[in-house]
Amino acid sequence: MDLNLLKGNLDLILLSILEEGERYGLEITKEANVRTNGYFKLNAGSLYPALHRLESAGWITSDSRQPPRGGPSVKYYHLTPSGREALQAKRDTYASFDSALRALWSAK
């Protein structure tokens, strides 16, 4: 995995996962790993600063509560309406970038 590509698309990855419903940190990490067949292996050092940044932007909210498995309280993250708008904008931007990049590959 190219860490620069991950950093540049981490918001898109996290917002996409939260679009499916609320999750806490470990669930987000596991979901990214499962959906990408192990390609994305998020660690706490990149995950939590990104979640805090998305929360500061108003794209997600959080609340603390006990997970179903029991144990100490964890923070559950939720996508906000402005987060849904940001997700769509990021998807559109990524699709345009991907299309332009693929045009370079096929131009021979």
Structure tokens at 92: 């559109």
| Residue 105's pLDDT band (cuts 50, 70, 90) | confident
List the domains of the chain with CATH numbers.
3-106 (1.10.10.10)
Nearest to 29 by CA among 96, 74, 72: 74
| 44-56 helix and 25-35 helix, angle to the nearest 10 degrees | 110
Residue 81 has pLDDT above 70, yes or no: yes
pLDDT value of position 63 = 95
Rounded to two decimals, what is the model's pTM?
Answer: 0.85
pLDDT tens for residues 15-61? Answer: 999 999 999 999 999 999 998 888 888 888 889 999 999 999 999 99
